[in-house]
Amino acid sequence: MIIALDAMGGDLAPDSTVEGAVETVTESDDIKVILVGDEHRIIALLKDKKYPGERISVQHASDVVPMHESPSVALRKRKDSSIAVAVSMVKSGNADAVVSAGHSGVTMAMSLIKIGKIKGVERPAIATIMPSLKDPFVLVDAGANVDCSPQNLLEFGVMGSAYCSALFDRSSPRVAILNIGEEDTKGNELTKAAFKLLKDSNINFTGNIEGKEVYAGETDVVVCDGFLGNITLKISEGLAEAIYKMLKNEISRRFSGILGFLLMKPALKDFKKKTNYAEYGGAPLLGINGTSIISHGRSSPMAIRNAIGVAAKLAGKKLHEIISIEINSKKRGD
């Protein structure tokens, strides 16, 4: 698999991207990485590193999309930006997948426009991985589409199911709609209409799931509109951080607590690792004719390495072709 990595994308780039690429090719045998961006800076960073040289190459791109720029402006003006060049390599067949930790709206827009939508998909969606008390689950849409139709939610369910199967090798993943009650009569107009469509589809639709149950780990794919998905994701991130801080404060208020905290540190570290986005690397844009992975802006080398791993796995399984078949068979009601 050949992965085009936007070497300039992300808060810690290009250091973290170059390091992530080096770690990738050092640890796996079947992935090649093309570092796309300012070749002088990239080559300078690569100079002192040891790695199998034939599996990293550099593709120069003279420009970088600034973080505050709108996707529409970037699409028009940044034709030689690292992300534009990296996405184009997938379109031209010179790479199997693209990974970027840069401006996520721009990565999404460029992937959508340059690589194109799968026929039959109305709205591509971002699928993100969330931790639970049991196995991790897929949340889709995590923020690509703020206003959605019931038909969009059906597509998210079909695409999320295919993604979950491909990534975790789970057969017939359980798919549920995020809702305010379990009964099919519960919810807003969108979820009530989507319930009917998903019930009639041939994925393993298990009904509605309440917010309180999401982290129990009893479902594989949670479906919602991108507005709700993004807020669910961010609320969870913010709360986990707040809880960690509150615990630390409570502990440091007492002597026995300080001692306890020192003894508990390894456990807390493991816990943080478990809830760390970087473990899962990145989120694919599902519904386009190829593989595009959007990583967190603060991606560490480990997060970049994991995102490249996910990209290689999905491209290797040709997830976009599976989705194309699934979405069109669902639409025909097979």
Give me the residues that bind a second copy (CB under 8 A), please: 132-133, 143, 146-147, 178-180, 187-189, 191, 210-216, 225, 227-228, 230-243, 245-247, 250-251, 253-254, 256-257, 259-264, 266-268, 270-271, 274-275
Rounded-to-integer distance, Cα 124 and Cα 249, Å: 42
Q: Rg of the chain over CA atoms, in angstroms?
A: 21
User: What minimum distance in Å lies between the beta carbon of 231 and a second copy?
Assistant: 4
The identity of residue 199, as a single letter, is K
User: What minimum distance in Å lies between the beta carbon of 262 and a second copy?
Assistant: 8
Nearer to a second copy, 73 or 231 (CB): 231
Nearer to a second copy, 11 or 237 (CB): 237
Residue with token string 């669902």:
330
Helices 226-252, 255-274: axis angle to 10 degrees equals 150
Nearer to a second copy, 132 or 204 (CB): 132
Nearer to a second copy, 79 or 254 (CB): 254
User: What minimum distance in Å lies between the beta carbon of 81 and a second copy?
Assistant: 22
Nearer to a second copy, 62 or 70 (CB): 70
Rounded-to-integer distance, Cα 237 and Cα 135, Å: 18
CB atoms within 10 A of CB 226: 21
CB atoms within 10 A of CB 252: 11
User: What minimum distance in Å lies between the beta carbon of 329 and a second copy?
Assistant: 31
User: What minimum distance in Å lies between the beta carbon of 334 and a second copy?
Assistant: 33
Nearer to a second copy, 15 or 250 (CB): 250
Nearer to a second copy, 133 or 169 (CB): 133
Rounded-to-integer distance, Cα 157 and Cα 194, Å: 10
Give how far Cα 222 sits from Cα of 165, 243, 266, Å: 14, 24, 31
User: What minimum distance in Å lies between the beta carbon of 319 and a second copy?
Assistant: 26
Question: Among 65, 26, 75, which Cα is nearest to 46's?
Answer: 26
Nearer to a second copy, 51 or 227 (CB): 227
User: What minimum distance in Å lies between the beta carbon of 186 and a second copy?
Assistant: 8
Q: Which two tokens stand for residue 176?
A: 């549920």
Nearer to a second copy, 94 or 249 (CB): 249
